[in-house]
Amino acid sequence: MKDNSSWSWSSWKICLLSVLFLTKTIAAVKLPPNLIVPALIAFGDSIVDTGMNNNVKTVVKCDFHPYGIDFQGGVATGRFCDGRVPADLLAEELGIKSIVPAYLDPNLKSKDLLTGVSFASGGSGYDPITPKLVAVISLEDQLNYFEEYIEKVKNIVGEEKKDFILANSLFLLVAGSDDIANTYYTIHARPEYDIDSYTTLMSDSASEFVTKLYGYGVRRVAVFGAPPIGCVPSQRTLGGGIMRDCAETYNEAAKLFNSKLSQKLDSLRKTLPGIKPIYINIYDPLFDIIQNPANYGFQVANKGCCGTGAIEVAVLCNKITSSVCPDVSSHVFWDSYHPTEKTYKVLVSLLINKFVYQFV
């Protein structure tokens, strides 16, 4: 289901490249005078994981090179990217900070808590089976850490300021790709479900998660839809046939989930007083980038930059067995599953106004 906004992806193409190179250390978008966003807090999977998996015993981790080669100082922080991820970029655009640390970062300072952290864990998902399959942090456990966070913030600034931070901060929820690509299609861990009932399970879980956040005092929640998962390099390899075309079955599943998710958020907006959940349509802009890479300054969209680009991700993308492409900026994808920082910057430049003005 397409977002109901009046976005025209083609109309942005002319100015996109110039936008990318104008990013400052804190390149804040101009906020309306009545809008204050004190912190950015993220939940979900590897798209917004900033290092939560570093101390988890799982193969879904990336705290080693070549991950992080374009991060500050070339440090592998546990971000599934060559550089920064959407949580960092959105926080920067909102004028909060340029790096959003993981909640379990051993170097985390009290001031970091007040401006936001990420609880997201690569490999997690809406289906409770999904994180168990790869031994990562479930959404339920991310909420348990969030409860700890709330108590710590209250101890630092008091009850009233804590409530203000929860009510006015931007909360990101990004999940669903691993449910569709891994749990359902690759591992076939839910044989009792057809894709319609499975995407209902996913959308119900997303709705329940947002409702739980509301119970903690959260009001501004941006929930990302699923991307065109069938066009991700690894899924082309696994489900796209000998020519590695986009796996259309996977894409149709993503669109079905997105339609249900959008409807669920509309329903919450009507039933939970004061909540402002917004559905972020990531499918259409990313699909356009993949189908028309040259329009956005890319050359390669069907392979990642790491290794062969067809299958390497997490531990398979390493400095021992995997080379890195000569020009990361020419690739839409960093590894076989995750976009490059440059791609994330393109997407953020397209979506930032939606984050700002729908929360006013």
Residue positions annotated with a catalytic role? 46, 335, 338
Question: What does the DSSP assignment read for 282-322?
Answer: -HHHHHHHHH-GGGGT-SEEEEESBTTSSS--GGGS-TTT-
Question: What contacts 149, CB < 8 A, 6 or more positions away?
Answer: 103, 113, 117, 119
* Two tokens, residue 191: 């044989």
Question: What contacts 12, CB < 8 A, 6 or more positions away?
Answer: 349, 350
Could you tell me if 78 and 61 are in contact, meaning their C-beta atoms sit under 8 angstroms apart?
yes
For the chain, the straight-line distance linking the first and the last C-alpha, in angstroms and rounded, comes to 25
Nearest alpha-carbon partner for 229 in 273, 174, 159: 174
Task: Respond yes or no on whether the N-terminal peptide bond of residue 66 is cis (omega within 30° of 0).
Answer: yes
Task: Name the region of 188 (left: φ>0; alpha: ψ -120 to 50; beta: rest).
Answer: left
Compute the distance between CA of residue 52 and CA of residue 302 in angstroms, rounded to an integer.
Answer: 28
Nearest alpha-carbon partner for 354 in 266, 223, 226: 223
